Chain A
Amino acid sequence: MNCELAQESIVLSVYGELPDERAHQLEQHLAQCERCRQEMEAVAALQKAMSVMPVADPSPSLLARTRLRLDEALDAMPQGGFFRRVSQRLRRSLGILQGAPVMAMFLLSAGVAAGAYGGYRTGARSAQATPATATRPIPVVADMDAAQVAGVTSITLDPGSENVEVRFERMVPETAFGTLDDPQIRQLLLVGTRERANAVVHDDSVNLLARECQAGHECNGGPIRNALMVALRYDRDARVRRKALEGLQSYISLDTRVRDAVLEALLHDPDADVRTEAVGLLEPVEADSAVRDVLQTVASRDDNPHIRTVSRQYLEQVSQIQ
């Protein structure tokens, strides 16, 4: 057994996958090879080190929440058996596989299928349960544009022949229409805020969501608020950051984390307009020590004279009240 094979065997052995006969050969090699003995120790040390990140069990509440979400999503889908018949029929006649790379895309596909439900309604009622006779979809694929293929997931070669089955996922461009309080639209906008390549889409998503929160429409906490905080902290465009601030206005007095994010913007944002907006938003907020500390820092150190003045005035107001 040479060293290269020995080193591979060491890894296998540490993971309990070394066949017995090779274990024997490895033992013999290790008896003679100092380098490989050290290798063995190093691999064992790696194992130990990696265990610093143990696999945690999901908390009962997380598990319960997840199950509930799944239940709701399944309920929202059209009737199970029927859906399968429809999709089998669709698949047979069109040979199109719907890729679902993104959760929002999946929701839209479910919507499209629900539309198909309407179309097939009468036919389905009287349809016999068709046994799954077709073992392969008919190899007809509508216009194959390489740019639309999101990824190839599997390749199966028919042994002894040149037939190959390739499973792939296709990006299906979809369009959704709706109002801003439509949960589907909001879900899509949230995804839009994470868009990196397309700045226009990103900015519009943040702006629209901020607008919703400002207008006081039900902007239930979590994801939207987080998206706005991320935009406030990291967006390269000052206008987007300002818009995010405006959207967060209603949360400031309710949520400490939002307040902290605004305080941080006041301290660190490079753009004076953003900082001015931030100090303005702080006024109605209860001025505890954290807020006062920040205001004191800003009052003496901010580059912008207007901001310094406003902070000082606010500090004076606060000490008068006390």
Chain B
Amino acid sequence: MPVDALRFLSPSRTSPARPRIQSTRMGGPARENLHETDLIREAQAGSRTAFDALVRQYDQAVLRLAMHLTGSEQDAQDIQQEAFLKAYRYLGNFRFECSFYTWIYRIVTNLCLDHLRRRKARREDQAVVIDSSGEEMDLLTNISDERAGANPGRELDRKYLGQRILMALDELTPRERMVFELKHYQGLRLRTIGEMLNTTEETAKNTLFRATKKLRAKLAELR
């Protein structure tokens, strides 16, 4: 299958969980991008104000991604913080070979992948624990939160499906989880995802196929 054929991107998109504005974030002489270029150069020259302005443009989106991926406010905060501190330290390395957006997200996805790998490694040597209300409990979620709360009846079904989804997502490898998150939940294009993960669009595509296959199999099994 020739790679060039995939460059004809279909204009119609089924919307992911949240509506997303189509915008050209990468390259091109948009006014917004010239402004950002100036900011970056200023920040590289040492301006903290310029760096803060750059952070403001992306921190909410980064936090949103990290929160949805990790399921924990605390972990999301940590990832967000580490990402921007790293960006601050290595800003000198950014040479405009890609968009700043991609560069930041590359850092973020790497941190997310690390988090997913650590989480997987920890799961392997821990038994699943059932707590006093009879529900399977994830040792790594913030235990102070959910315990006291009662479950309204009608939320139960939805919550159960939610748990099955979490379990299914858990079966994916970190990379598959990441690609699925970026594609399905964050609505990014496969080409962008490839760049963020430092790989090709083709590889991202194949990872997505594997992920959807696994998810379907797991959800069918859990029904």
Contact = CB atoms under 8 A, between A and B. Distances in A.
B165 A50 contact: yes
Given A52-B161, A66-B59, A257-B147, A100 B64 contact: no
Nearest to A107: B85
A286 to B, nearest CB: 17
A96 to B, nearest CB: 14
Interface size class of A (residues with CB under 8 A): 35 or more
A82 B212 CA distance: 47
A296 interface: no
Contacts of B13: 15-16
Contacts of A57: 60, 64
A234 B139 contact: yes
A101 B186 CA distance: 25
Contacts of A239: none
Contact of A103 (B64, B82, B143): B82
Interface in B92-149: 92, 95, 110, 114, 122, 125-126, 129, 132, 139, 142-144, 147-148
A12 B161 CA distance: 25
Interface in B5-35: 5-10, 12-14, 17-18
Nearest to B181: A55
A12 B208 CA distance: 9
Interface in A1-59: 8, 11-23, 42-43, 46-47, 49-58
B80 A52 contact: no
Contact of A69 (B81, B165, B205): B81
A52 B44 CA distance: 42
A312 interface: no
Task: Identify the interface centre among A15, A56, A88: most chain B CB within 10 Å of its CB.
Answer: A15
Contact of B209 (A11, A13, A18): A11
Nearest to B65: A55
A132 B92 contact: yes
B1 to A, nearest CB: 8
A73 interface: yes
A56 B68 contact: yes
Contacts of A66: 59, 63, 77, 80-81
B91 interface: yes
A70 B84 contact: yes
A253 interface: no
A80 B63 contact: no
Contact of B198 (A58, A87, A153, A226): A153
- The B contact surface, by secondary structure, is helix
A77 B67 CA distance: 26
A160 to B, nearest CB: 18
A54 to B, nearest CB: 5
Nearest to A17: B190
A256 B149 CA distance: 13
B216 A88 contact: no
B142 A196 contact: no
B60 A55 contact: no
A254 interface: no
B171 interface: no
Contact of A56 (B55, B67, B147): B67
A80 to B, nearest CB: 5
Contacts of A257: 144, 147-148
A54 B80 contact: no
B46 A84 contact: yes
A322 interface: no
Interface string B136-174: 000100111001100000000010011001100000000
Closest 10 CB pairs of A and B: A81-B46, A16-B13, A19-B8, A154-B198, A58-B63, A80-B46, A84-B92, A55-B68, A54-B17, A51-B17
Given A50-B17, A56-B68, A63-B60, 16 more contacts: A46-B215, A50-B215, A52-B161, A53-B165, A53-B185, A70-B80, A77-B85, A84-B44, A88-B92, A155-B198, A229-B144, A230-B139, A230-B143, A233-B143, A257-B148, A264-B132
Interface of A: 8, 11-23, 42-43, 46-47, 49-58, 62-63, 65-67, 69-71, 73-74, 77, 79-84, 87-88, 100-101, 103, 106, 129, 132, 135, 151, 153-155, 196, 226, 229-230, 233-234, 256-257, 260, 264, 268
21 contacts: A16-B12, A16-B13, A23-B10, A46-B215, A47-B184, A50-B184, A62-B77, A63-B63, A67-B55, A70-B55, A70-B80, A70-B81, A79-B46, A88-B92, A100-B86, A103-B81, A106-B85, A153-B110, A234-B139, A260-B147, A264-B132
